[in-house]
Structure 1
Amino acid sequence: MRLTEFTELMETEFGSTAAYSMLRDHVFPEFGGRNGADAVDAGYDPKQVWQAYCRDFDVPRDRW
């Protein structure tokens, strides 16, 4: 997954303002305690980060 697709999915699913906040504020233990933005910057696949948001925020499976 490309970074642009990841960003688009976040904004479509959660709205621009909420997506921005979530990328900075929500921390994932599986990414070493990083937030979503830092996880992507650290080299984690944006698809893995997207799926982590989907799990944590109960996004329906068909939109993963």
Structure 2
Amino acid sequence: MRYREFWDLVDDVLGSAQGRGLVRELVVGELGQRTAQQALDDGEEPRTVWHALCDALGIPDAARWGSDPHRAAPPRR
């Protein structure tokens, strides 16, 4: 997953304003008590950050990939 794809999913699944706020403000235990933005800034893979953010928000796997039916869901690592 590229950074662009991460941000596209944030906007599509979480809503641009709310989602970007969550990326900046929500502390996620799975990311070492960092926000998603801090984890990205620290070099974590966007795929890892996306899954951790979705887990923290209780977003089911089927809903994580947005409204594009052709978007491939990257597996967890």
What's the TM-score bracket when you normalise by the shorter of the two chains? 0.7 to 0.9
Contact 2:28/2:56 (<8 A) preserved: no
TM-score by length of 2: 0.74
Contact 2:28/2:34 (<8 A) preserved: yes
Q: Map 1:6-17; keep pairs closer than 5 Å.
A: 6-17=6-17
* Divergent runs of 4+, >4 A: none
Deviation at 1:57, TM superposition (A): 1.2
1:4 and 1:61 mapped to 2: Cα distance? 20
Q: Map 1:21-60; keep pairs closer than 5 Å.
A: 21-60=21-60
Deviation at 1:63, TM superposition (A): 3.5
AA matched with 2:32? G
Query: Superposition RMSD on alpha carbons, in Å?
Result: 1.2
Gaps of 5+ in 1: none
Secondary structure, aligned partner of 1:44 = coil
How many residues align structurally? 64
Q: Highest relative contact order (Cα 8 Å, sep 6+), 1 or 2?
A: 2
Render the CA deviation track for 1:5-57: whole Å, top value 9, x for unaligned.
00000110110110111011101223232111110010101101100111111
